[in-house]
Each structure stands twice: as structure tokens, then as C-alpha cells.
Structure 1
Amino acid sequence: MRQFTKFIAPALVAALGFSAVAPGVAEAAPRHQAARHYDIRTDINGLRANIDRAAARRTISQREASSLRRDVVNIQRTYSQYARGGLSAQETRVLGARVNTVYAKLRMERHDYDRRRG
């Protein structure tokens, strides 16, 4: 009986304590996951809107716009693949880097004033 109180009882209390903490941790993860999804979707939609706006204002050509839209479609496709299992921090960084790359391309196309790709 002395062994029970010395070793097993504290282990039992610790196990019960961890199970009480686990639901709070489990609830926090989906909220964080939802924030990642929202941020990436917002970035992709904003990028698409910026490309459409630049094409409508004729600051980029239709050829430039279609090439940039193709890049956005590729990002959207990658996002869909990653989102099936939930976005990890690494996948979020990859998607963010791709979005930033297309934003940089859009900026360069807007300021080259030649209205052709490249």
C-alpha cells in the first residue's frame, strides 16, 4: 500500500491533470487553424482583385494580367491541396511567400510601362 501512495497515486493525479488541460489546448488549435485559412484566402482574393484592378486601369496589359492570374490559380490550387489536412505553419509560410512573389511581379509589371510580359 505504501508503494501505491508513493508512486502510482501521483502518476494518477498527473494523468488526470493532463486530461483536464487537453480540451483547452484542443479548442485553441482549430481557432488558430481557422485564422491561417482566413489570412491566406484573404491574401489570394486581394491579389486577384489587385490584378483585375490593374488590368481595368490599363496599367498592365491583358497578357500580363492573364499570366499573373495563372500564378494566382496555381497558388489557389496549392492552397486547396494543403487545406485538406489543415495548414501547418510551414505550408502557411510557403503560400505567403508565393503570394508575395506574385505581388512583386504585379508591382514590377505596373511600373515597367511597356505593357508586355517580362
Structure 2
Amino acid sequence: MKKLILAALIPATVGLAAPALAQPAPPPPGGWHHGPGPGAGGWMTPRRDAAIRQDIGQLRFAIDRAQRNRTISPREAAPLRRQAAMVQRQYRMYSRDGLSRDEVRWLASRVNQIRQQLRMERADWDRDRW
């Protein structure tokens, strides 16, 4: 008799616990992050992701504006545009699985290098190559 009662109670208790176990885990504080964990370079926060994306967009806009204002020639703008497009492609590739700190650092470094090149092109005053 005891075996029969135990056999009836075990499925009932497992049936009550199963829906609680099937619930998804709540999001961690600060939301979900993609990319490698803290030991592998850190997680990319949405704020940093948006900031690097915005930096790339601003760089492309600055190159266009400099050419439009005739502070750089089209010949000077073309390689800067190609470099900015390469950084944007690299950003898209990195952001598929989340950006690590090293990837963000690399992207920010490239954006800063291209900005520096743009400043140098503006300052060289050799716009006679139109």
C-alpha cells in the first residue's frame, strides 16, 4: 500500500515543480550582454556599442562635410572614405556576436587615426588637386 501511495505522489510533486523549472531566467541587472564573459575581455554594453557606431557615423559625416566645404579635395576624401567604410564593415563583423573591450579599443583607435588624417588633410592647404 505504501508503494502505491508513493507511486501516486511522486508524479504529482514532479508535475508541480516542472512548470517552475521551465520558466526562463530573469535578465541580469543592467540587461543582457553579448560577447565573451568578463574573463575574456569583458562584455559590451549597449551604451558603448551605440557610442562606437555613432563615432563611425560622425567620422563619415565629417569627411563629407570637409569635402563639401572644400577644405579637402575629392582625391583627399576618397581614401578617408574607404578607411571609414572598412572600419564600419569591421564594426558590423565584430558586433554580430557582441563587441569585446579589445574590439572596441581597436575600432576607437582606427576612428581616431582616420580623424587625425582628416585633420592633417585639412591643415596641409594643398587643395590644388581638384
Q: TM-score range by the shorter chain?
A: 0.7 to 0.9
Task: Tell me the CA shift for residue 37 of structure 1.
Answer: 1.4
Residue type at the aligned position of 2:126 = D
On the 8 A contact 2:44/2:101 being kept in 1, the answer is no
Q: Does 1:24 align with 2:24?
A: no
Cα deviations across residues 45-104 of structure 1 (Å, max 9, x unaligned)? 000111011000111000111110000000001101101110011100000000000000
Compared CA separation, residues 116 and 85, structure 1 to 2 (3 A): farther
Show the counterpart of 1:107. 119
Alignment CA distance shift 1:116-1:103 (3 Å) = farther
Kept after mapping to 1: 8 A contact 2:44/2:98: no
| Separation in 2, partners of 1:101, 1:67 | 13
Q: Secondary structure at the match of 1:38?
A: helix
Which structure features the higher share of helix residues?
A: 1
2-structure distance, mates of 1:32, 1:82: 11
Unaligned stretches of 5+ residues in structure 1 = 1-21
Percentage identity across paired residues of the two chains = 47
Matched AA of 1:67: P
Deviation at 1:25, TM superposition (A): 4.6
Match of 1:88 in 2: 100
SS for the counterpart of 1:27 is coil
Q: 1:40 to 1:73 in 2, by over 3 A?
A: same
Runs of 4+ displaced beyond 2 Å: 22-33
Aligned length: 96
Rg larger in structure: 2
Show structure 2 runs of 5+ residues with no match: 1-25, 35-42
What displacement does 1:116 show? Answer: 6.7
Report the secondary structure of 1:24's partner residue: coil
Match of 1:53 in 2: 65
- Residue 34 to residue 116, structure 1, CA distance change in 2 (3 Å): farther
